[in-house]
A and B are shown apart, each in its own frame.
Chain A
Amino acid sequence: MRPVYITGVGLHPFGRFPDLGLTALGVEAVRAALRDAGLGRGGFQAAFCGTVYGGVAAGHKVLTALGLSGVPIVNVEAGCASGGAALALGAGAVASGGADAVLVFGLEKMPRGMIRSSFFESWREEAGLAATPAYFALRAQRLMLDGDVTLEDLARVSVKNHRHGVANPHAMYRRAVSLEEVLASPVVCEPLRLLMLCAPNEGAAAVVLSARPAAPAIRVAAAVLRSHVAGSVLGEHTPLSGLTDERVPTPTEMAARAAYDDAGVGPRDLDVVEVQDTDSGREILSVEELGLCPPGGGGRWVRDGGGELGSRQPVNASGGLLARGEPLGASALAQIVELTWQLRGAAGSRQVPHARTALAHTVGRGANACAVILAR
């Protein structure tokens, strides 16, 4: 297998854009990434597009609009990890020699309100079992019961990520919030408050992968997707890692282990990390599962200032999903864009000094998780 490099990245900011169609969002991100890579028509041999709600041929429509169709185009769905799954497929195509360069992108215009998912059979919806934030709340309660995580710790995650988001011009929410403000925001599902949950929204992100490095050379040291094994989630119809049998590794633990092996690095070697923070509890669990703190140590981690910009190992310097919002197909690739900027030293006022090794993590319905390690 040959090395795979990131040679171009592009983004459409995350937010709400009632005047723009889904294809237009994708066009902006793809155009920016190709410009960054110095590629045009004929410059890539395959394209992988992550989307969950984008419908039939979402990726094809973007490349058609740019006059870039004619290569194999695969639309990829893996829940919140869709963009990561697309990246893993693209990296495999380059590493194997099947393509010299590939375009990976993701795009989404999420419906407003509580996410509706065809994951649930209609009777589960009718019975009230398709309440996605409720599952996040159960997971947060589990963290609070099993470990030393407090309600204030959940709020601290939100305060941190919102503070980071102020410096990110591509984020949806760019306002710092206080601990008191988070705790006083409306309860959505006890113990989770509104400001502890990310907002579904719209956006697009794109990455060019190549067998030949650009300057500076940023290598995809690992790109791993893993789905759940039975028992790591609560029953086959409500997969949500972190709820059930602790003897069974979760999708995130499996993906992280394989990614660390592939890259030949461990959690301590990471300079900057982006993790899934669909809700505050998810970030704490992600940090534990990735080995950034000891098992059960996530509450202490956030109380001690873990993950803050300026700390040893910033987590979600971009503001994470809590500040950016979550367009499912695009969110994982926006992490890759952010980390590429960080490794290039081009992240502006949220730059992590001397960042050389980075990890991106997404996990979502399926259940599946993706771990990507980048190295400069």
Chain B
Amino acid sequence: MADGRPIAPGLFDVDAGEPRLIAAECVACGRRQFPAAAVCPYCAADGTREIRVGPAGRLELYTMVLRAPPGYRGPVPYALGIVALDGGLSVVARLTETDATRLRPGLPVELVVEPLFTDDAGQRVVSYAFRAAAA
């Protein structure tokens, strides 16, 4: 993982150099959620198991954010999109691409974990994003 503090605990990790999102799968209905939580929002079952998803995904929708939204600490402009992962889970995520002409629905993307900003204590904060997959 890139050096620095994760933007929040329990969102992602890096295994043998390969980043993954930490999601949860319901033990009753099998549906997945991210971030992981103990209760299934789909069937209300009180039991999920933690799974790792990614790094490969497919871009479903995207847009460009030109001005920093409230609380955002990273650079602008940036792209925001919906990424479909294996197993029927879609997540909303920042995209590393800053040129919208290089994005399209259906684009293969891959997860990255990288520095986003430096916090008030001078520590680098890392977060997850998706970039166009290597051809």
Using a CB–CB cutoff of 8 Å, the interface residues on chain A facing chain B are: 113-116, 120-123, 125-132, 134, 137-138, 141-142, 145, 187-191, 230-231, 234-238, 243-244
Inside 8 A of A116's CB, which chain B residues have their CB?
A: 70-71
What count of chain B residues pass the 8 Å CB interface test? 37
Whether B94 and A141, one on each chain, are in contact in the complex, defined by CB atoms closer than 8 angstroms, is: no
**B72: contacting residue among A115, A131, A137, CB under 8 A:** A131
Interface pick from B13-21, B46-54, B58-66:
B58-66
B80 part of interface (Cβ distance < 8 Å): yes
Using a CB–CB cutoff of 8 Å, the interface residues on chain B facing chain A are: 7-8, 33-35, 37, 41-42, 61-74, 78, 80-82, 90-94, 100, 105, 116-117, 125, 127
Whether A126 and B41, one on each chain, are in contact in the complex, defined by CB atoms closer than 8 angstroms, is: no
**A-B complex: 9 closest residue pairs judged by Cβ atoms:** A125-B71, A123-B8, A137-B63, A116-B70, A131-B69, A230-B41, A230-B42, A189-B63, A128-B72
For the A-B complex with A137-B63, A235-B90 known, give 7 more contacts whose Cβ atoms are closer than 8 Å: A113-B70, A123-B7, A125-B72, A126-B74, A130-B70, A131-B69, A138-B81
Inside 8 A of A188's CB, which chain B residues have their CB?
A: 66
Whether A243 and B64, one on each chain, are in contact in the complex, defined by CB atoms closer than 8 angstroms, is: no
Cα A231 to Cα B42 with chains together (Å): 7
Whether B72 and A126, one on each chain, are in contact in the complex, defined by CB atoms closer than 8 angstroms, is: yes
Whether A189 and B66, one on each chain, are in contact in the complex, defined by CB atoms closer than 8 angstroms, is: yes
Minimum CB distance partner of B106 in chain A: A145
Cα A187 to Cα B104 with chains together (Å): 18
* Smallest beta-carbon distance B31→chain A, Å: 8
Minimum CB distance partner of A130 in chain B: B69
Whether A122 and B80, one on each chain, are in contact in the complex, defined by CB atoms closer than 8 angstroms, is: no
Whether A138 and B67, one on each chain, are in contact in the complex, defined by CB atoms closer than 8 angstroms, is: no
Whether B33 and A235, one on each chain, are in contact in the complex, defined by CB atoms closer than 8 angstroms, is: yes
Cα A115 to Cα B71 with chains together (Å): 11
**B63: contacting residue among A125, A134, A243, CB under 8 A:** A134
Whether A129 and B34, one on each chain, are in contact in the complex, defined by CB atoms closer than 8 angstroms, is: no
Whether A127 and B90, one on each chain, are in contact in the complex, defined by CB atoms closer than 8 angstroms, is: no
* Smallest beta-carbon distance B53→chain A, Å: 13
Inside 8 A of A235's CB, which chain B residues have their CB?
A: 33-34, 90-92
Minimum CB distance partner of A141 in chain B: B61
Cα A127 to Cα B41 with chains together (Å): 23
Whether B63 and A236, one on each chain, are in contact in the complex, defined by CB atoms closer than 8 angstroms, is: no
